[in-house]
Structure 1
C-alpha cells in the first residue's frame, strides 16, 4: 500500500524538525571545542525531563512497536509484563545504582568494572557489550524498522535500512549525546502521541461506532485468552513467559541488567546535573513505562481480534498502519514509528562509540589521546557500527518474533553482568577472579543449559545462570576480608527526595491494581 501525499508531508515535516534541531545542537557554541565529556556525556548537564524522555525514546523502538505488538498478537497482554515490571526496575536502579555511579564520576559501565575489579574484567565485558550492541541490538532495530516501511510503503527492505541508517547518522554521529538526548524529547512526543492515536483507532474499530471503551470491551470478549499477565503451562506462550517467573524470577535479571548495567540506557543518567536530577528523570521514565503497553501491546491484540491476514506476528503493527488508519493520521503514526527507530539507533550508536573509545581505544591503542582525538574516534566508531548493522540487518528476515529473539540472546550476557555489578556494589569480598569467572561462565552456563535442557524456558534459564554466577563469585571471593577495591558507602548516599518517594508509591499502587485485574 502506498502512503498518501498528506502522510508524506507530515513525515517530511517531522524529519525536518528532528534533523534541524540535531544539527543545530551539533554545532555547539561559537568558538567552543567539543571535548570527550561534552560529546559522550553532554557535559554532564542534562535535566530530568531530557533524561526521562531520552531513556524512553532510546528504549521504545521497532522492537517494541513491531516486535512487542507481534508478541501481543501471538501471546497477548502477558508480554506487557516487560514494560510494567520495568517501571519498578527503573525505581530500584534510580535509588541504589545511580548514586554509586555518579559518585564515582564514570563515563562507562566497563570503567566502573575496572575501578571495582581490574582491567581484565573491564575488557571482557566491553567486548561482550560491543558484540551484543552491534550484532543483535543495532541490527534488529534496523531490520524491524525497514520491515515496517516495506509493509506500509512497499519500499524494498534494503532501501529502508539505508534510509533509516542515513537519517539516524545524519545528526547523531557528529553531535554526540547532547544532540541525541534533546532530539529525543521531540521524538518521545511523536512516538507517544502517534502510538496513542494508533491504539485508540484500532480498538475503536472493534466497537461498532461505540468508541474506544466499547471497542476495548469487545476486544476482551473476542480474545479473552489474550488478557492474562501470568500464563499457565497450557498456554502456547508459556516458554517465553513462564508463569510466575515473570514477576519473581528470571525476568528481574533482564530487567535490572537492562536498566541499571546497560550503557545504552544508563548513559543518560550518567550525564545528569546531579543525583537528584537523574532520579527524577528515571521516575518520569517509569511513569511513561506504565503507558507503553497501551501503545505497543494492545494494537497487536486488536490485530488478532480483527483476524488480520498476516503471515507472521511481527506484521501485525504494519498491517494496522496500512489498513486501519486514515490518511493524515497514518502519517502521524508513521512518524511515531520512525521516531522510535531513529532515536534508538542514535542512542545505540552513541553508546557503542563511548565504550569503544573510552574502554578500548584509550586503554589499549592510544592512552594519551587528546579530547579532540577521542571525539574523532567516537564519531568513526559510530559510523563503522552503523555500516556493520546495515550489512547484517537484512539477514534477519527469518525471525518470527524479533522481540523474543533479542531478549533470549541478550540473556546470555545479562546474568553474569548483573551478578558482577551487584557483587561490586554490595559484596565487599568479591574479587576480580570471581567477576571474570562469572563474566565468562555466563555464556558457558547458558549454552550448556540450552543444550542439556532445551525445554527449559529461557527466562528460567537466565535466573538459574544468574544464581550460579553469584555462587561462583562467592566461592572465589576473599574468605576473611574485603577486597582491596571494594567500595564503602554511607547510608545517606541512598536517600531520595520526597518527589521520588511519592512517585514510587504511586507507581507501585498502579501496578498492584493492574495485576489484580488481569492476573
Structure 2
C-alpha cells in the first residue's frame, strides 16, 4: 500500500469513527438495555445496514473469493439463498421475539421450556462465539488487511508474525470500540461503512475487469465470460464446494438459524423501535445481499484469469485490490476490510457479553447471594467479560492458519457444531405446545454428539450439509417421541410482553416476493441457462 492509499485509509477510517461517535454519543449506556440493545430505538435503515455489515465480515471477502478461485461460483449459495431464509424469519420468527419482549434468544427458550434450557443454550452460544466466531473474524481480517499492506515484506517479518501483529491491533481497537460504545455505536458505524461498501461493489468489478482487459473494460468482461467458464457456474455438482442440492437441505436450515436465531444477528433486529422497522430492515439487508456477489465473488472470478497459479489462495482478494484499484479506492477498500473485521468482532463481543451477563452471571449471583444486582454492577461485569473474551480470541486467532482445506469451509463446518442444535430446539418450540424441557436438553446433546462423530471421528462420505439435515430430522423425531410420551401438563402459551409496537409492515408481501424473484434470477444468471 503506497502513501496515497495509506492516507486514504486513515482518512476514511477516521471519518467513520468520528461520525459514529457524534451520532451515538447521546445514547444512554448506563443501563443494560441501552448498552446491549441501543434502547430499542433503531430505525429500519440502521437495522438493515447493521445486519448487512455485521454479516459481511472479512471472512467472506477472503473465504468466498478463495472458494470461487479454487472451485466455482457455487459458493454464492450461502449468501443468495439466505434471502429466502430472511423472508421466512421476517414473517414468522421476529414477530414472536418482539411480542415476547426478549433480549436474547435464550430468553425465549426460558419462556418456552425452562431456565435450565436457557442456561444450556447460553453456554453453547458462548462456546460458539469464543471458539469460532471471534477468532475467525480477527484472522480473516488480518489475512485481508495484511495482504493489502504487504506487512511481512515492508516490516521484514514472517507471514506468521504479521498475522499476530494485525490480529492484536484489530482486537484491541475493536474491544475498545465495543466496551466504550455499546450496541448503538456499533450499529451507527455499520451504517456509515455500508455506504463505502456500496461504492466498492461498483468499483472493484469495474477496475478489475478493466485491468484484466489491459485498460479496456469490455475486453476484460469478454475474457471472463468466454474462458474458464466452469468458474461461472453457481449450480454446484456433488464434487463442488457447495452442491446445489445442499441449498434445500442443510444450507437452508443453517440460513434460517443464522438470520433468525444467531444472537449477534438477531440482537440488531431486537434493537428496532417497532416490528415494522425490523421487517423493513431485514428486507433492506436482503436487497444488499443480492448485490454481494459483486464484492465477495466476482473478484475471485477475475483473479482466476490474473493469477492462474497462486499457492496461498487466501490472498486472492487482497492481491486483486492492491493491483487493480486506484490508490484512493485502495485506501477505502482497506477501511472496509478493517471495518468489516472489527464490526463483526464487535457485534459478537457485545452479544457474548449480553449472554454471559444477563443469562448466566446475573441469575447465578442473585440466586446464590439472594440480592438484586444493580445496572452499574452488571455493566461493569459485562465490560470485564468483554476484555477477557477479547484476549482469548486474539491469542487463538493466528493458529487458524494451520486449518486444513479452504478457510470458508472450515468456518462453516465448525460453526454448525453449535448452530444447528439450537435451531432444532427453537424451531420445534415454535410449533409444538407440549414439548418438555428434557426433550430440548437431550436434543442439544444428541445433535452435537452425532455431528461431531459424523464429521470428525468416522468421516462420513455424505456432504456435511446433507448430514446436518439428516441429523436434524433424526433429532426432531427423537424430541417428538419424548414429547409424545412425556408431555408438559400445561400447554405452552405465547404471552405478550412486547416493549415496542408489534404492528407488521403492510407492504412486506410485495417486497418479500420481489426479493425471492431476484434471488432466482441471480442463480439463473450464473448457470448454464445464463452466462455459464
TM-score (norm 2): 0.91
Counterparts of 1:425 and 1:265 in 2: how far apart (Å)? 19
Shift of 1:316: 0.5
Query: Which of 497, 502, 507 is the matching residue for 2:510?
Result: 502
Counterparts of 2:77 and 2:495 in 1: how far apart (Å)? 33
CA contact (8 A) 1:253 1:414 kept: no
Task: Report what 1:150 is aligned to.
Answer: 146
Query: Which of 381, 385, 389 is the matching residue for 2:389?
Result: 385
SS of the counterpart of 1:28? coil
Are residues 506 and 33 of structure 1, via their aligned partners in 2, closer, same or farther at CA, if it must alter by over 3 Å?
closer
RMSD over aligned Cα, in angstroms? 2.1
Counterparts of 2:121 and 2:486 in 1: how far apart (Å)? 28
Shift of 1:495: 8.1
Counterparts of 2:424 and 2:47 in 1: how far apart (Å)? 26
Query: Which of 362, 367, 378 is the matching residue for 1:374?
Result: 378
TM-score (norm 1): 0.93
Task: Report what 2:111 is aligned to.
Answer: 115
Task: Report what 2:158 is aligned to.
Answer: none
Counterparts of 1:15 and 1:517 in 2: how far apart (Å)? 35
Task: Report what 2:200 is aligned to.
Answer: 194
Counterparts of 1:480 and 1:163 in 2: how far apart (Å)? 53
Are residues 340 and 485 of structure 1, via their aligned partners in 2, closer, same or farther at CA, if it must alter by over 3 Å?
farther
Task: Report what 2:450 is aligned to.
Answer: 445
Task: Report what 1:172 is aligned to.
Answer: 178
Counterparts of 2:487 and 2:392 in 1: how far apart (Å)? 46
Task: Report what 1:183 is aligned to.
Answer: 189
Shift of 1:487: 3.0
Matched, 1:518 2:516: no
Task: Report what 1:203 is aligned to.
Answer: 209
Q: Describe how 1:11-410 pairs up with structure 2 within 5 A.
A: 11-24=9-22, 27-28=25-26, 34-155=30-151, 156-211=162-217, 214-233=219-238, 235=239, 237=240, 240-246=241-247, 248-366=248-366, 368-399=372-403, 400-410=405-415
Are residues 330 and 198 of structure 1, via their aligned partners in 2, closer, same or farther at CA, if it must alter by over 3 Å?
same
Deviates more, 1:72-81 or 1:47-56: 72-81
Counterparts of 1:218 and 1:132 in 2: how far apart (Å)? 42
Counterparts of 1:483 and 1:410 in 2: how far apart (Å)? 35
Shift of 1:347: 0.9
Are residues 458 and 495 of structure 1, via their aligned partners in 2, closer, same or farther at CA, if it must alter by over 3 Å?
farther
Counterparts of 1:252 and 1:489 in 2: how far apart (Å)? 29
SS of the counterpart of 1:471? helix
Shift of 1:473: 1.4
Structure 1 unaligned segments of length 5 or more: list them: none
Structure 2 unaligned segments of length 5 or more: list them: 152-161, 528-532
Give CA deviations for 1:356-406 in whole Å, capped at 9, x if unaligned. 111111121346211111122222222211111110011111234221111
